[in-house]
Amino acid sequence: VEPGARDVAMVFQSYALYPHMTVAGNLGFGLRVRGTPRAGIERRVAEAAAALGLAELLSRRPGELSGGQRQRVALGRAMVRDPGVFLFDEPLSNLDAELRLRTRDEIAALHRRLGTTMIFVTHDQVEALSLGQRVAVMDRGRLHQVGTPEEVYRRPANLFVAGFVGSPPINRIALARDDAGRLAGGPFTLRAPSGVDRATLGVRPEDLAVARTREGDCDGPGGDRDSGEATGFRAIVLRVEALGSEQRVHLDGPGDAAWVARAAPTLRVDPGDRVSVSVAWERSHLFGPDGRREEAAPRPMNRPASR
């Protein structure tokens, strides 16, 4: 199929606007080439300009616009065409936070209104999970997983997907089979799936529950940090990010890297505090030596086998 006959509207990170044309001229250029009647061009241009906040800029040229305004013109130029397929490649990258959110909403509304297939390429996980009905996770040309946002986030196919999707990224610790045939690492001792000698435990930050402990206290829901039989672990708070609706508590958790827990804004902890951390095992993940996720959720040894 010849490029001109593919009926694909594309928006890239680069604006690719015609510098000698006004905003209105750039928005309507593709329609004029296709012989759309003038009244139809003016109507579609006005609708796109209103949706993207460009109505006051229609008489300006690209050189008079900010980077974010130019990106909105490029997006509007695709919107007016009513194509068979939209291809977006990082279209929101040059917008500030407020316009990014508003334009994202406009793209979602456009999709609902038109029902047209949209392929949206982005490194922004919020964009991917909030806009996508189906999300494809790729790395260096390899397709790792295709699924709904919920499937990709809650049932990652492998360790790459688990680490790539989610912010903060998934917490992880390496495990190895011990002499008793169990998977052990840090404070955790888990039942080993058949044939698995090495694995990685992955726990999302929101699947960790943090509670303050008394100085020197070794008992509680987290268990003894050094016992090897814990369903959770003891930790010291390294840093707290107060984000208003939530807190991100950075911990000297098990393994080589610090762990991060999402906590309610009402939790009162400070750097240096000792805390008890419980793990939501039913939502945690075990990845085999090849990086693939095991179907069964991890099971700590001091919990009953039934879930």
Structural domains of the chain ordered from first start = 3-133 (3.40.50.300), 172-287 (2.40.50.140)
The residue type of 285 is H
Q: Are 242 and 236 in contact (CB under 8 A)?
A: no
Helices (H), 141-221: 149-154, 159-164
Integer CA distances (angstroms), 56 to 49, 149, 200, 295, in order: 8, 37, 55, 55
Give the residue from 225, 227, 205, 208 showing the smallest Cα distance to 217. 225
The residue type of 48 is A
Residue 149 to residue 130: CA distance in whole angstroms: 8
Give the residue from 217, 222, 211, 204 showing the smallest Cα distance to 268. 211
Question: Beta 8-11 vs 85-89: how paired, if at all?
Answer: parallel
Residue 276 to residue 213: CA distance in whole angstroms: 6
Residue 33 to residue 26: CA distance in whole angstroms: 12
The CA-to-CA distance between both ends of the chain, in Å, stands at: 54
pLDDT tens string for the chain (307 positions)? 887 778 898 888 788 899 999 999 999 998 998 899 999 999 999 999 998 889 999 999 999 998 878 888 998 999 898 888 999 998 888 778 888 888 888 888 878 877 889 999 999 999 999 999 999 999 999 999 999 999 999 999 999 999 999 999 999 999 999 999 999 998 889 999 888 999 999 999 999 999 988 654 444 334 444 433 447 899 999 999 999 999 999 999 777 778 999 999 999 999 999 999 999 999 999 999 999 999 988 988 754 333 3
Residue 228 tokens, joined: 């090897």
Confidence at residue 110, expressed as pLDDT on a 0 to 100 scale: 79
Radius of gyration of the chain from Cα atoms?
25
DSSP annotation of 17 reads -
Residue 255 tokens, joined: 């393994």
Q: The tokens 């006004």 sit on which residue?
A: 22
